[in-house]
Amino acid sequence: MKRDALYDLHIHTKLSDGNKDALDILEVAKANELEAVSFTDHHTTRTFDEATVYADYLGIELIPGTEISTSDFKSLHILGYGMDDRAELNMQLKTITQTNQRKIIEILLKIEQQYGKKLFTNHQVKVMLREGNLTRKNIAHQLVKMGLAKDAESAYSDIVGPFGNLGVQTIKPSAKNVIESINSAGGVAVVAHPRSIKHRQSGHNLSFKEHEQLFAELKSYGLQGIEAIHQSDNSSRVQNFFKYVANNQGLIKTGGSDYHGHRSGESIGNPNVKEKHMDSLRQAIKDRHNSKAPRDACSLCASS
C-alpha cells in the first residue's frame, strides 16, 4: 500500500533561529520521502535562493517562504509563500533586521554585564550578525547551555523576550503592512500557528470568537490562509475549529512542523498536510502571480 505523500510548509534553518543548514535539512527531507517543503526563516526569503538548486537536484519541490512578526498581537506571525519578486521584499526586511540586530546587541551586552561573562565569542557574534540569526531565541538557548537559565522558554519570557526584565523592544510592522508587502511581492499570506496568538499586554490566548474576528480583519487586508495544521496543536478540537473558520471565511489551509532543531522529538514533515492542501496553496500562488498588486515604497518600514 502506497504511503501518502509528505509535506512540510514551515521549517527554520540557520538563517534565522534554526540550528541546521538548509541543504542538510533537504537531505533529511529526501530520506524521509517528502515531496515538497518551504523554508520559512524569519524576515528573509534568502533560504530559497540558497537551497533551490540542491532541491531541484534531489527532486524536492521547494516553495519560496518567509515568516514575519507583526506588532498587532503577541506571536501574530504571517507566513509568506510563493513570492516571485523577492528582491524588494528582502530589502524591506533587511532594513528591519539591521535595526533589530542593534537591539539584540543591546540585549546581549546587558546580559553579559549582568552575569559578568561573555555568552558568545566575538567570532560567533560576527558570524551570527553576518547570517542574520543573532536572535532572542538563540540567546535564550545559550543561557541554558551555559547553566544561566533553567530552560529556553523561561529564559525567553523572563529575560530576553520583549516582556522580559531587560525591557528592550524591537521594531515590528503591522499585520496589514506585512500582508500587503507579501502580496505585492507575488506571495500568499497565511497566519502562522494561530493557537499561539496572544493579547500583547495580558498574554492571554485569544478566544475562538476573537480568532474569527481577527481572521476576518486580516482577510480584508489580503490574507489568504490559516496554518490550521501545526505540530503544537495536538487537540483535534482546536485543529477542527481552525479548519472550520478557514472554510467559513474562504481561506486556504496550510500546515507544517515549525521545525527549528532545538526541541527534543522534532521531526520534519507533517502527515496531516495532504495533497489537497498543497494543491490549494499552489493554486493561490498561481492566482497571485496572475493578479499581482502594485508595490508601495517600503510599506514594511512604516512600523507601528
List the domain boundaries for the chain.
6-93+172-301
301 pLDDT band, cuts 50/70/90, is low
Looking at the chain, the whole-number percentage of residues with pLDDT higher than 70 is: 94
Q: What is 6-93+172-301's CATH number, 3.20.20.70, 3.40.50.2300, 3.40.109.10, 3.20.20.140?
A: 3.20.20.140
Backbone φ and ψ of 227, nearest 5°: -80, 80
Report yes or no: 81 and 188 within 8 Å, Cβ to Cβ: yes
Dump pLDDT digits (tens) for 207-223.
999 999 999 999 999 99
Q: What is the pLDDT of residues 182-203, one digit of tens each?
A: 999 999 999 999 999 999 878 8
Calculate the CA 176 to chain-centre distance.
16
Strand ordering across the sheet containing 34-39: 6-11, 34-39, 61-62
Q: What percent of the chain has pLDDT over 90?
A: 70
